[in-house]
A and B are shown apart, each in its own frame.
Chain A
């Protein structure tokens, strides 16, 4: 094991900005939804729209980064050692001295469970939020209503359906968020992963090839 530079500067900026925006959007979004009322409604709407556009902009940059750097390959799903990892979080983690079955390397910095979770976030939760949110936002805009409403009505849908899809995806995002924050504190020491995401440096195998053979 050694200290390895796992998370590059843009990646860390992207992660933490996205985290802040998701919290912001969850807070304002459930306020608009009527779950609670902590600010004037029109403020919640304005902030939610602003946050949404900021996040979309960030995503555009992040997608570009993933493809130009080849980092998208980090999210290719695999079943290799998936059960081992799941077993570790369910049982092994409670045994003092037990080791994580997956050794992180620079080329494989996510364990198979992470790959699945993050792929789900990127290919399902985020796009559904993005698309339903834009349809919702521009349903009645005078410049876009003529396009957006026929799209929705062609599929026999209503604004209410769009809103419910958006709500569903928001719940998924909230569940992911809770799980993700907790998992962030399962390192050794507990804050190790969080620290790695801040500094970029984390514990990993020095030689990727050697690690893979060991596993």
Chain B
């Protein structure tokens, strides 16, 4: 069996479902104004348009003022991605420079609160661990084309406009392509039908983060392409039919709402659209619930009295992974490398096709309809960096820590997914390691997914990262925390009071706040003393009454007898 096929099983689901999802994408594309084909399609190309093709009524009724299919710049045979981008940039001549300022391009981010330098390029997580030496594979989710060399180099024509702006669903990138488009795509057609991103455009990467459908987030997976109303009341066609950017309202290609800098406790009412951003009107995060719903959205005042310490998500996302697709709950790299009876790598899946074991990757567990973990969270996330010292005695090592407390005045109770990992680290230098995993023909036969040997794979990865490796490795347990903020359920499915206002309820572990109805907030001696006295009093009056009754009966019978 071809090793590439095997090693790519988890990630492969991404591509398969992406392609599989395209009919739905195409259907919705037909409804969208930009995608409406002109009356006379590609029949008469650039040559000499004697009769101008009619613009569709849908497009005329839309907010857009351009029909890309009529631009001569796009009426040519494109053979590579950069050729298309060059055409885009002839009109959109600031777009590339905007892109170069985004996390989507740089995969690097400096956290203002912690001063930490973060981003995919930097951190080591507990999924595929690190991109450093693995760009052959990871670049399928980079919004750029690789033309050899540094994929993050700011070259305008290397920006991949189409991965976000394709409306046909035909545009894909292969797994081992360094981010270049798959073969056989009609780039001319795709370029002529560009438009605003759809759920599937963002989903191509964000539904499949971590190498497969639903692996990372828990609240984002392929079911969110066309979710039921119950799964996501905003994004469902039977609900708001939102695109991602309806909330993550983008400006100058900057997409707000990164999980690196979560607006954990936004306050105030909805921002006025069009209001200038200045000291008096600080920038608001349009992706927060509050930016549309305000922080007092309930008819019942008692519910509004929760919003200063409870995030909307806590009650309104009762469970995550609710769309029929599971999310990965753990990944144990330490079991990787087993071979079957014939000495070959193998893969074991469950009835849903979710990978339970893969020789190249290790053991996985999955779960659906998961009740979140609840924590105090103030928006600050601190990471265990590649250089952070870690020790076995402190395991599990938190890849990231969500900060917050009941007393800092900035925190709310948030739902999160806590993922468990087990991955290699350097027990001599005491740090996480970069493993070279994806075979790219450039690392001299060290790629772990193919050659299944840890030491050379780590050595190659750490060499690319420019950091020392002692030559020794051990496995260490880790955790990673993910905010749960998508998959907002309809009102009727929000949590009921007693799911928190009770003992052993959803918020049993939350400290620092008195929750009426929760036993751990009671004084045990008051409860014990109170009920004991109640019992003794009841017993006392019963005894008293009984003696009165007996005495009276005796008195009556004695009088009868005498």
Contact = CB atoms under 8 A, between A and B. Distances in A.
Interface of A: 32-34, 37, 40-42, 45, 93-96, 140-142, 158-160, 163-164, 167-168, 171, 174-175, 178-179, 182, 185-186
A21 to B, nearest CB: 19
B409 interface: no
Contacts, number: 83
B530 A41 contact: no
A42 B558 CA distance: 58
Q: Interface SS of chain A: helix, strand, loop or mixed?
A: helix
Contacts of B498: 37, 40-41
Contacts of B541: 178-179, 182
Contacts of A171: 526, 529-530, 533-534
Contacts of A163: 514, 516, 521
Interface string B514-549: 101111011100100110011001100100110110
B305 A34 contact: no
B442 to A, nearest CB: 61
A193 to B, nearest CB: 14
18 contacts: A33-B516, A33-B522, A34-B502, A34-B503, A34-B519, A34-B522, A93-B548, A94-B547, A94-B548, A140-B308, A141-B305, A142-B296, A142-B304, A167-B530, A171-B533, A171-B534, A174-B530, A179-B541
B497 interface: yes
Contacts of B555: 96
Interface residues of B, number: 36
Contact of B301 (A33, A93, A141): A141
B537 A94 contact: no
Contact of A175 (B302, B518, B533, B551): B533
Contact of B544 (A42, A140, A142, A182): A182
Nearest to A46: B302
B517 A164 contact: no
A168 B555 CA distance: 42
B526 A142 contact: no
Given A178-B538, A179-B537, 5 more contacts: A94-B551, A163-B514, A163-B516, A171-B530, A171-B533
B514 A142 contact: no
| Residue among A95, A142, A160, A179 with most chain B CB within 10 A | A160
B552 A33 contact: no
The 5 tightest CB contacts between A and B, nearest first, are: A160-B514, A41-B497, A171-B530, A182-B541, A96-B555
A94 B550 CA distance: 9
B341 to A, nearest CB: 56
A179 to B, nearest CB: 6
Nearest to B547: A94
Contact of A174 (B308, B529, B534, B548): B534
A83 B526 CA distance: 30
A142 B305 contact: yes
Nearest to A89: B544
